[in-house]
Amino acid sequence: MLKWMYGIGILVFAASVLVLPATAQRPLPEGWIPGNLEHYEVGIDRNVFAAGEAAAYIKSTTPSPERFGTIMQSFSAENYLWKRVRMRAFVRANNVRGWAGLWMRVDGQGKENYALSFDNMQERPISGTVDWKRYEIVLDVPAESKTITFGILLEGIGKVWLDEFTFEVVTKDVPVTRRSRPRLPPQPRNLGFEKEPAERPKAPK
């Protein structure tokens, strides 16, 4: 639960950080939004990339960066409702002291449906120096979902490059990389306390 709440806190910040125009540094392609430009720089690298002709990057600009920086975007969840989605991207890291990771968050309408599914690779972080490698996140998109937000984050010193995102619907045989938030029942249950639990907890000795 603590890890879940910590992850939620990270992405709450990602959605609410002061977003400055990308033209204040190196411009990002249409659709992409940078975050926390006080401590990080984001841009496009046309010399280092996994495929095509360019990759995005994010790097620290201060000796002790506060919080984390991110490159992100959002889109409608309409075409993915009731489905399991795998997001993949290539990442390269250079001297990351701290951690980096892809992240993906599925939101519904209103605060009660915030972060229905979420993963930021906190439990399998990218650190140190790593050549181009493909990473993935697999999440379920519940029926009440409205938006999918995704990107990469860097917390600490270093630099990471990002290239070639893909999204695909997969079967339920493909395991999710992070469990969705437990859904609340539509009605109150066992109000008279008569229904026994499936397994009774053992009495302490």
Q: For 33-65, write each residue's pLDDT tens digit.
A: 998 888 999 999 999 999 999 999 999 999 988
Rounded Cα distance between 120 and 103, Å, is: 4
- 127 within domain boundaries: yes
Rounded Cα distance between 203 and 42, Å, is: 56
Contact 140, 182 (CB under 8 A): no
Nearest alpha carbon to residue 22 among 66, 56, 53? 56
Rounded Cα distance between 101 and 124, Å, is: 8
Per-residue confidence (pLDDT) for residue 47, from 0 to 100? 95
Q: What is the pTM of this model?
A: 0.77
CATH code for the domain of 148 = 2.60.120.260
- 197 within domain boundaries: no
Domain region containing 116: 2-170
pLDDT tens digits for 109-118? 887 778 899 9
In the chain, how many domains are there?
1
- 162 within domain boundaries: yes
Contact 22, 32 (CB under 8 A): yes
- 179 within domain boundaries: no
- 180 within domain boundaries: no
Indicate the range of 30-39, 42-51, 89-98, 116-125 predicted with least confidence: 30-39
- 193 within domain boundaries: no
pLDDT tens digits for 137-152? 999 999 999 999 999 9
- 131 within domain boundaries: yes
- 186 within domain boundaries: no
Burial class (CB in 10 A: 0-12, 13-18, 19+), 181: middle
Q: Which amino acid is at 127?
A: S
Per-residue confidence (pLDDT) for residue 152, from 0 to 100? 97
